[in-house]
Structure 1
Amino acid sequence: MEPSNHTRVTDFIMQGLFDHPQHQRLIFGLFLCFYMTAIMGNSLIIGAIAIHPPLHTPMYFFIANLALVDILCSSSVLPKMLKNLFQEKKTISFDGCIAQLFAFTLSSGTELVLLTAMSYDRYVAICHPLRYVNLMSKDICISLAAGVWAVGTINSLVHTLLMLRLDFCGPNLIRHFFCEIPPVLALSCSSTYLNEIMIFMADIFLAMVNFLLTTVSYSFIIIAIFKIQSSKGKQRAFSTCSSHLLVVSLYYSTIIYTYIRPTSSYSLDKDKMVAIMYTLVTPTLNPVIYSLRNNEIKVAIRKILPFNTK
């Protein structure tokens, strides 16, 4: 028996971020500035870590991976959204929608696992400093990073393939500004039971388990910091993980609001606004958070800027 392609919809129409934008040029300019800042900021972080030997440590290796994930996240969504702002009919092809869904799901799943790996790195650095070199060797860091990207890729591939097996007969209006799983799934005219089961499993294993592991890591970190006698030592220990803790808080607050809920409780209009946080605002803020109080990154960035002055 030959497999058949039941997909009847060849393209989708995006509702966009705003139903009736009154200040389209202002919105375009604002979002373009955020996007360019996110790309340049994260690229500077990657470049600074690559060329500055003092930053060739496990912590900065994972920060470079996070910057790469943030570039992928923003670039999977924002260029098409910016283009649609000046189009009367905001369309995306079926193949383009699936590609966007794959890229975004890859970046979001990878970031969840990566933040856990980063929290483990901080746990080892603060709770087992004498064993840090052995427990976070170069080979172990590369293996962890490869595992992180493998988990994100497999998760994204599973959701994408499950989406491809569905029938889309119409309507084809996506109530969002990009192809995310819940609003696309709502348009299917065939059973989405298996998709919802896999989404639930991803919520448990990617979101809940990683959140729990990150929480456990920071519980041990906080206990270890309180055991430090000198206030200066406590401040130094906390400063090594404060940036990561802030990034974790920003990312998980939006992810939990959007995904850790029953499908029936989704409010797509509100979710569009929250999606701006994790597709644009968070990738823009992450480089700022990691470089604002980090003198080593500041020194490295000055070395690669063309207008560097000593």
Structure 2
Amino acid sequence: MSSSFRKIDYSLRPAKYAERKMLVDVLRRLTPFQAVEDYCYIGFGSVWFSDFILFHRMLGINKMISIEQAETARARFEENRPFNINIEFGNSSTVLPSLDWSERVIVWLDYDDPLEPEMLQDVRSIANRARSGSVLAVSLQCVKAPSYVDYERDMDEGKMTAIERFRQTFGRERVPDDARDDDLTGWPYGTLSRKMLINEIELALAERNLSSNTNLKFKAICEIEYRDDARMCTLVGAFVEDDENERLEACAFQRLDFMPANQRPIRIEMPKLTIRELRKIEQQLPKPAERELELGSIPASDAEKFSRMYRYLPNFAVMEI
């Protein structure tokens, strides 16, 4: 996994910003399990620590652990650390098993790369250890699978298909039988990646439940898709024991206004509107169901995008000199 902080300015990703704020609203609803501020947050802070800052300020979470792979940039991480965050240097596959899993945690494995076998090992490691009431979010890039890139570059007439290369990388048992080459690019690739993550988690939980006489399950909360520079997808779910299912139901995640009624992925799309147009729509929100927006010349599709996501989108202002 690459040191993405050297090439991506996270402060300039509006859809990512919206995703973070949506996650805040999801996490606020965990109180049937315990006070959110008493959770431990584990993530990849990078040099911006954007999610750490937001979760501390908005949720009051104090115990935070950032896993950083780039040990050669240790001084830079330390200098940019905004709060008393514990930074663990090393690969996530090594650091995750060494952490204390006796308390409930919120883990966000916010990768910038496409799905890799090591990522499946990370979610398996968490599924083997997380307490009931813990939350796991995993974000992945879903532009094009490396196996598909290799397939396109291969000039051999009898070359192996992209999906066969993918199966060789991950193992046949991990890839759905009905997966095809077309599932290795774009949003279908995101869907396939999320399926494989869930399958890996469920397999780990089946083994854990058998050996420890527990009945822990992974319940998906939502799936998110967005695009700033690259297509990205996120899976969010909770680990829950059978005897705590009522607590999960009491969280009422489905009442969040950005949750689709049909359980489809939440698609964050940035409207292409002027500041004046944004303000005109904003003055009419929140909108009663029976009322139509007065749009004038504003494109209806962009107005709809803004209406669905306005609470989570960043505010922009233009300053002219």
TM over 0.5: no
More strand by share: 2
Which structure has more relative contact order (CA 8 Å, sep 6+)? It is 1
TM-score, length of structure 2 as denominator length:
0.25
More helix by share: 1
